[in-house]
Amino acid sequence: MLKLIEKEKKDDIIKYCLERFGLRQKNLERYHWYEGSKNRIFIGPEKVKRINPESLGLCIFRLDKTPKPTTNFIQLFGEKINKNYIILNKTETVKICKGENLKKKIDVEAGFVALKYKSISLGCAHWNGEIIKNQIPKSKFCNINFL
Amino acid sequence: MYKTQTIKEKIVERYSSLVDNSDQFTNAVKKPLKQTFRINSIKGDKDKILNDMRNYDASIKKIPWCDNAFETDLTNLGSSIQHFSGQIYIQELTSMVPPLIVSNIIKQKTVLDCCAAPGSKTTQMAEIMNNEGHIIANDARHGRIKSLRGNLDRLGITNTTVTLRDFNSFPNTSADVYLVDAPCSSEGTIRKKNAVARKWRQHDYDRFSKLQKNLLKKACEMAPKGSTIIYSTCTLAPEENENVISQILDEEDIDLKKININGLKLDNGVTNWKEEDYNKEVKKCARMWPHHNDTDAFFLARMEKC
């Protein structure tokens, strides 16, 4: 069951988006925000009375100890992300899309990162200073033949 | 159960009296379809996406009657980085037509997509709407909702509410546009894979016709005055097309509107079939024959609630 998100939680996520990814508030303002089960945060249209939705809008975050961005979020707002992203080469992109982790020397802050191939946003990963840990959902894994 | 070739022959025989050129029709039905796709501009600039794709695919050609549609000689675009990232959607050309005919009236509006899964038309409308306004995407089958949800996520669609209901029991909902892309015998998809071969049965026409009429009637009943209702199927059978529209015209307060798309050849609806005469207005419906635009076969009707 989706409910409208509390203002404090929404403000925290918007603050995180700006601090972590440089994503400005104006990009997130036009949506209605909801909280669903398992601490999942959705952005979408206004809820319609009398209709019991199976789902609504797009799941963009999961609130754990810290906010965790989803691959949907990174892919949708990737063009506007200007901090803590990693540009992958062809081989690395193929590995990431297959679901593998990567070992790579990079200069970004530890935490969640956006993965890109050229300007294409691929999804979310976690960087712990040594390994880029793949956070793309299993259901999206794919053998890429054309890039 | 019939073999694919036999079904193709049966379909050609059944409809040869309706087509303008039965040789061309026969040849088109036998020819496999090219893979076609649509660029999803929600995930990036159209020209940039196209340039990226042309680095590995020189065969891409633009479809003249649809801005975002292209065909390719590649058969497995599903393993491209553009598909992975939601920049493209692999979609039959005929399936792109219903959203096209309402493209000038859905921006900032509410659309009720009554049989939405797997979401080709829903995601196309969302893109036309620039992810604004509201689409209610309903489907009656749980298994199909999963593929709908997956496609909405992959294409970054935020303006859609997904519902799982038999549309006949859907709560009355006011919308500007109702899309009834009804389940059908799918004869029109005969050029691709063996989908029809597995399912095709003569007596399905009656079963589908009843189901289609109920769905369309429900949409007409809940539609407010002035709203638009689109009915489409991927079958050639008049039993499931003009017959359904004719009955609805006789029972509901609706006007049928003529359909035009620049560069796309559309044939009129048929007014009689197997000794049955339909309401003469059904001429305004549109038939897409495989040999006219090198596509699947398709049927469309555009109605306005009075």
Identify the domain containing residue B50 by its residue range: 34-91
Q: Are residues B154 and B275 in the same domain?
A: yes
| Mean pLDDT to the nearest integer, A67-90 | 97
What pLDDT, on the 0 to 100 scale, is given for residue B199? 62
Q: Print the SS3 string covering B169-202.
A: HCCCCCCCEEEEECCCCCHHHCCCCCHHHHHCCC
Co-location of B118 and B250 in the same domain: yes
Q: Which of A96-100, A116-120, B10-14, B103-107 has the lowest mean pLDDT?
A: B10-14
In-domain check, residue B24: no
Q: Is A17 helix (H, G, I), strand (E, B) or coil?
A: helix
**pLDDT of B3:** 54
Burial letters A46-78, b for 16+ CB under 10 A, else e: ebbeebebbbbbbbbbebeeebbbbbbbbbbbb
Within a domain: A147: no
Task: Compare CB distances from A93 to B43, B81, B135 and report the shortest one's residue.
Answer: B81
- Sign of the torsion angle spanned by Cα atoms A54, A57, A60, A64: negative
Contact check, Cβ <8 Å, B157/A144: no
* CATH number assigned to the domain comprising residue B57: 3.30.70.1170
Proportion of chain B above pLDDT 90, given as a percent:
90
Record: contact B52-A50, CB cut-off 8 A: no
**pLDDT beyond 80 at B59:** yes
Q: What is the pLDDT of residue B196?
A: 63
Q: Is residue A132 included in any domain, yes or no? A: yes
Residue A146 lies in a domain: no
CB–CB contacts below 8 A, A to B: 107
pLDDT band at B55 (very low <50, low <70, confident <90, very high): very high
- Give the single-character DSSP code of A24: -
Distance CA B234, CA B182 (A): 9
pLDDT in tens, B198-246: 566 666 899 999 999 999 999 999 999 999 999 999 999 999 999 999 9
Instruction: Please indicate whether residue B234 is annotated as part of the active site.
Output: yes
Q: Which residues of B touch A (CB under 8 A)?
A: 42-44, 48, 52-53, 56-57, 74, 76-87, 132-136, 145, 149-150, 152-154, 156-164, 171, 173
Q: What is the pLDDT of residue B254?
A: 97
Q: What is d(CA B210, CA A62) in angstroms, rounded to the nearest whole number?
A: 44
Residues of A in contact with B85 (CB under 8 A): 75, 120-122
Domain count, chain B: 2
Residue B25 within a domain: no
Over range A62-90, report the average pLDDT: 96
- Residue A106 lies inside a defined structural domain of this protein: yes
* Same domain, yes or no: B42 and B155: no
Q: Which residues contact B78 (CB under 8 A, 6 or more apart)?
A: A142, B90
Give per-residue pLDDT as tens, B157-177.
999 999 999 999 999 999 999
Catalytic residue of the set B114, B220, B234, B285: B234
* Helix, coil or strand: residue B142: helix
In chain A, the number of structural domains is: 2
User: Per-residue pLDDT for B111 more than 70?
Assistant: yes
Cα separations in angstroms, B237 against B205, B212, B274: 7, 12, 11
pLDDT of the residue at B190:
87
Q: Are residues B59 and B162 in the same domain?
A: no
Do A72 and A103 lie in one domain? The reply is no
Report CA-CA distances (Å) from B35 to B78, B170, B291. 11, 35, 16
Q: Which residues 94-123 of chain A have a CB within 8 Å of chain B?
A: 97, 117-122
Count of positions (residues) in chain B: 306
- Which of B89, B125, B158 to mutate: most A Cβ within 10 Å? B158
Residue pair A3/A35 in contact (Cβ under 8 Å)? The answer is yes
Question: How far is the C-alpha of A87 from the C-alpha of B192, rounded, in Å?
Answer: 39
By residue range, what is the domain housing residue A24? 3-78
CB B236 within 8 A of CB B187: yes
d(C-alpha B30, C-alpha B291), whole Å: 10
pLDDT at B266: 98
| Same domain, yes or no: A112 and A64 | no
Q: How confident is the model at residue B10 (pLDDT cuts 50, 70, 90)?
A: confident
Q: Which residue of A has its CA nearest to B151?
A: A140
| pLDDT > 60? residue B56 | yes
Q: A146 — contact with chain B (CB < 8 Å)?
A: yes
> Are A88 and A74 in a shared domain?
no
